[in-house]
Amino acid sequence: MWWFVSSLLVHQLVLVHHNFHVSRYREQSCFVHRFEVATIQCMSCVTLKIPIKESYYCSTKCFLDTWKSHRMRHQVAESVSKTSNADDQASGILRSCGSWPCAGSWSAFGNGSLLDGTAMVVEREGKSWIMVGSSNTYFPSIDDYGFRLRLESAAIDCTKGSLLAPINIIVTDLVVVTPILRPRCMIQIGLPKEYRKFNFDARPSVAGSFSVLSYNVLSDIYANTGNHSYCPKWALTWEYRRQNLLYEITGYEADILCLQEVQNDHFENFFEPELVKRGYSVIYKKRNKEVFTISGGTIDGCATCFRHDRFKEIIKYELEFERNAASMVKTLQRRQNSNDDFRLMKDNVAIVVVLERKTSGAFSDALHSRICVANTHIHANKDLPDVKLWQVTTLINGLESIVQSDIPLLICGDLNSVPGRSVFSCY
């Protein structure tokens, strides 16, 4: 393998030929107590070429308690060594000692141990590590279960044979068996009586009718086991969810889509190109305060999408609740250093777009063929019901001028509330 190291020498790039050396180790375990780390070793076993894993014990007491069977292995090894043609049989006898799990019960791993009696053991930071390989890739075996693995890698100068950098060391967590995926237990929730006869698969047939879907896609920054402990971790990954989300959202074949919690990078790299390919025009408004993750800053927002063969955009409005709250707070006379001033300062947003049908159909004029679609995501904190109510009221007040123009109004979104609460009384 070629490894190139660059250094600045009079603005010249120096390419040096290197090899990359890899050593892989596993914590040495006790031969008797499978899940205990070994602390002592019988050197007579090493001399007699007994499989090296059978020479390790977790304590002096453990070694003494098994001395009788241990000595028998010595005697067998001594007698076998005198008969050269019995090596293979002896190996089978020696490897049968101890209570090791059979390979059939560990289907998640490879077939049996990869080690033999000549395996190398090294001391690192007061621990014994048994060498398990030196390749660039490694698949854990049944013997690795319950123990840590250690990787040591180094770049070696092919000419001088010296290290070009300090040895890189990585120690893993305990090796575990691949968990069996639990079957999903779906809970059937009946629709309200007034919706039970609605056919979600049927396309609108009445002239001038259209279909709308509002959907919270759950931003990846909130898709974690802390918020959703009932859900397997693999099912929360974006790579798994995105195709399922796209399949469901587009499966309804809605004319207008109102999506919430759309992460900005997911919108640019996934939702926008995929929905455009399916005949939608897309409008996106993100929030202002980024959330910093391992991969960098990110934020979510709202997306309104409509079929461009049925509608065209007339005008668009964007509402930032935080900016409206700041303007309102400035007009109020508040006591100094009041924390209440910041209570309403939440960066939730809304998109308001006026759409016009491209085919007039039964409509008499352009004004009557228009509809206003509002899409929002209201603040989620259940302990701030006043903030929820203020945000909804602010949105409704802003829509009044459009309603006065006799343009039908459609409000979609995630209100983070339930019917019967004050938020719904505003509509």
Q: What is the pLDDT of residue 334?
A: 59
Pairing of strands 212-216, 256-263: parallel
Dihedral angle, C-alpha 148, 152, 153, 158, nearest 10 °:
-150
Best CA proximity match to 217, nearest among 276, 257, 269, 186: 257
Q: What is the 3-state secondary structure (H, E, C) of 201-215?
A: CCCCCCCCCCCEEEE
What's residue 224's pLDDT?
Answer: 83
CB crowding 276-315: b at 16 or more within 10 Å, else e: eeeebbbbbbbbeeeeeeeeeebbbbbbbbbbeeebeeee
Does 323 have pLDDT greater than 50? yes
**Cβ-based burial of 410 (10 A; exposed 0-12, middle 13-18, buried ≥19):** middle
Residue 425 predicted with pLDDT over 70: no
Give the pLDDT band (50/70/90) at residue 18. Answer: confident
Q: What's the mean pLDDT in 344-372?
A: 80
Helix (H), strand (E) at residue 91: helix 87-95
Angle (nearest 5°) at CA 230 between 229 and 235 = 90
pTM of the model: 0.54
Count of all residues that appear for the chain in the document: 427
Q: What is the CATH number of domain 210-425?
A: 3.60.10.10
The mean per-residue pLDDT over the stretch 356-361 comes to 75
**If you write DSSP's letter for every residue of 324-357 in order, what string do you get?**
HHHHHHHHS---TT-GGGGTT----EEEEEEEEE
Q: With contact defined as beta carbons under 8 Å apart, do 46 and 23 qualify? A: no
CA–CA separation, 297 and 330 (whole Å): 30
CA 70 to chain centre: 48
Average pLDDT estimate for 278-295: 86
**DSSP string across 225-251:** TTT-TTS-HHHHSHHHHHHHHHHHHHH
- Provide the pLDDT for residue 325: 84
Position 253 pLDDT exceeds 50: yes
Lowest mean pLDDT among 43-47, 156-160, 358-362, 400-404: 358-362
Orientation of helix 321-331 relative to helix 385-403, angle to 10°: 100
Q: What is the mean pLDDT of residues 173-177?
A: 81
81 versus 412: the higher-pLDDT residue is 412
pLDDT recorded at residue 395: 92
Residue 256 above 60 pLDDT? yes
> Could you tell me which of 55, 119, 99, 45 has the C-alpha nearest to residue 76?
45
Which amino acid is located at 166 in the chain?
A: P
**Structural domain spans, the chain:** 8-171, 210-425
pLDDT in tens, 136-147: 888 888 778 878
pLDDT reported for residue 105: 34
User: Given pLDDT bands bounded at 50, 70 and 90, which one contains residue 213?
Assistant: very high
pLDDT at 100: 31
Neighbouring residues of 307: CB distance < 8 A, sequence distance ≥ 6? 255, 256, 279, 280, 281
Question: Does residue 36 surpass a pLDDT of 50?
Answer: yes
Q: Which residue has the higher pLDDT, 6 or 77?
A: 77
Token pair for residue 315? Answer: 């005008």
Q: What are the CA-CA distances from residue 294 to residues 5, 235, 298, 358 (Å)?
A: 27, 20, 10, 45
Three-point CA angle 336, 341, 343, nearest 5°: 145
Residues with active-site annotation: 414
For residue 200, pLDDT over 70 is answered with no
pLDDT at 7 over 70: no
Residue 96 near residue 29 (C-beta atoms within 8 A): no
DSSP calls for 299-327: -EEEEEEEETTTEEEEEEEEEEHHHHHHH
Looking at residues 352-370, what average pLDDT do you find?
73
Mean pLDDT across the chain, nearest whole number?
A: 76
For 25, list phi and psi in degrees, rounded to 5. -135, 160
- Indicate the range of 20-24, 73-77, 88-92, 118-122 predicted with least confidence: 88-92
- Summarize the confidence of residues 148-171 as an average pLDDT: 83
Give 284's pLDDT tier (boundaries 50, 70, 90): very high
Residue 350: the pLDDT is 95
Per-residue pLDDT averaged across 103-127, rounded?
49
pLDDT of residue 311: 95
The pLDDT > 90 percentage for the chain reads 24
What does the pLDDT read at residue 13?
53
